[in-house]
Amino acid sequence: MSSAASVEAVTCVYSSGSWADTALSQSQGSTFRITYDATASASPVNAISGLSSVNAWQYSDLATGVRFNPSGMIDVRNGSTFTAANNVPYQAGVTYHFILDVNVSSHTYSAYVLLGSGQITLGTNVAFRTEQASVAILNTVDGFASAGAISICNITLSSSTTVVASPSTLVASVSSLNFGNTGLASSAQQTVKLTNTGSSNVTISGVSVSGAGFTAGGGVSGLIVSPGQSTAVHATFSPFTTGSYAGSLTVTSNAKNSPLHIALSGTGVAASTHSVVLSWNASSSSVAGYNLYVSSSSAGPYSLLNSSPVPSTSYVDTNVLSGDTYYFRITSVSSSYQESAPSGTVQATIP
């Protein structure tokens, strides 16, 4: 079903420590779609955007809520809690296009984010915030960042839902991988999550890599990915000389956006004699192992260290350089390769 869309004022809503609001041109009391672009100033932040019936002065004024959460992920408000149908990390300064299909009568909404040419579901028919369970109209877009800042722009309103057709699209979690400095005779690995955002199966026919020093694996060739499901491809960087490297990871399939290209880059450096020993408490739930991520900045982006989930609760990173500072995070991984939100950040400075 489709309908004409009306574009709201192009003035952006900006918040850093105080609530910011802008009124819709028309109050909404039935079913409608609203889209907007939101950008976080850093990663992580703690910032939310949503809809209300009045200018919001507190969280409980919001009926809907899309959040850049303090763990570096995007989630949505569902009644009295936050949830996310898919793990979608965010990056500082990157603009994300959000779609909300809202049903005021049933006090529910579905939320999506566009990544590349694909639409990722954040929540389907989730409930309005508990305090707004009986709200009759929505007429205001609100934003608030208690840590960092958020801007909300390009607000577009439709009187009824417009379905974004995507019969068979394979979407990568990132468009590029930078392995940073990697010592000779060692290797670094990162993972690309591939998600079928369409309504029909996607068959992956092949994964190939161009560029010296790069390889890929994961056993996904021939794999059938069902609608809404994900799989992972592992890319590895193993430099054999010092200097800069560039390459590309290509995934071919029967998806309409095939082939899918992910740019690869990294720098080979002299091998280090230093190391960082990491240890952590075991997860209280059953897990297949743990993933470890490293960055040269606390704000990220973070790169995967291990080639497969680590079954123990310790890890030694020998790919560190004297005089540099590193930041580490850990996630737990289920048997179906679903990752938890990342842990707090641990800093290590190499002497």
Which tens digit of pLDDT belongs to each residue from 312-321?
898 888 878 8
Q: Which domains does the chain have, with CATH numbers?
A: 5-158 (2.60.120.200), 165-271 (2.60.40.10), 274-351 (2.60.40.10)
Highest-pLDDT range among 151-165, 177-191, 277-291: 277-291
Which tens digit of pLDDT belongs to each residue from 334-350?
877 788 989 999 999 98
Token couple for 191? 């993972």
What confidence tier does 167 reach under pLDDT thresholds 50, 70, 90?
A: low
What confidence tier does 79 reach under pLDDT thresholds 50, 70, 90?
A: very high
Q: Assess whether pLDDT exceeds 50 at residue 111.
A: yes
What is the pLDDT, as a whole number, of residue 145? 95
What Rg, from alpha-carbon coordinates, does the chain have? 22
The predicted model gives 222-232 an average pLDDT of 85
What percent of the chain is modeled with pLDDT above 70?
92
The residues, any chain, with a CB within 8 Å of residue 266's CB and separated by 6 or more, are 178, 179, 180, 181, 182, 188, 213, 214, 237, 239, 244, 245
The predicted model gives 82-97 an average pLDDT of 91
What is the pLDDT, as a whole number, of residue 11? 63
Q: Assess whether pLDDT exceeds 60 at residue 135.
A: yes
The residues, any chain, with a CB within 8 Å of residue 296's CB and separated by 6 or more, are 180, 324, 325, 326, 327
What confidence tier does 49 reach under pLDDT thresholds 50, 70, 90?
A: very high
Is the CB of residue 194 less than 8 Å from the CB of residue 257? no
Which tens digit of pLDDT belongs to each residue from 259-314?
899 999 999 887 667 888 899 999 888 888 999 999 989 888 888 888 778 888 98
What is the pLDDT, as a whole number, of residue 36? 93
Q: What is the pTM of this model?
A: 0.48
Is the CB of residue 212 less than 8 Å from the CB of residue 248? no
Q: Assess whether pLDDT exceeds 70 at residue 4.
A: no
DSSP characters for 102-143? Answer: EETTTTEEEEEEEETTEEEEEEEEEEPPGGGTT---EEEEEE
Could you give the 3-state DSSP secondary structure of residue 6?
Answer: strand
What's the CA gap between 178 and 55, in Å, rounded? 42
What is the pLDDT, as a whole number, of residue 117? 57
Q: Which residue has the tokens 């993972």?
A: 191
What's the CA gap between 118 and 74, in Å, rounded? 16
What's the CA gap between 100 and 116, in Å, rounded? 18
What is the pLDDT, as a whole number, of residue 165? 42
What mean pLDDT is reported for the chain? 87
The predicted model gives 190-213 an average pLDDT of 88
What's the CA gap between 340 and 85, in Å, rounded? 12
Could you give the 3-state DSSP secondary structure of residue 98?
Answer: strand
Q: Which residue has the tokens 């470890």?
A: 292
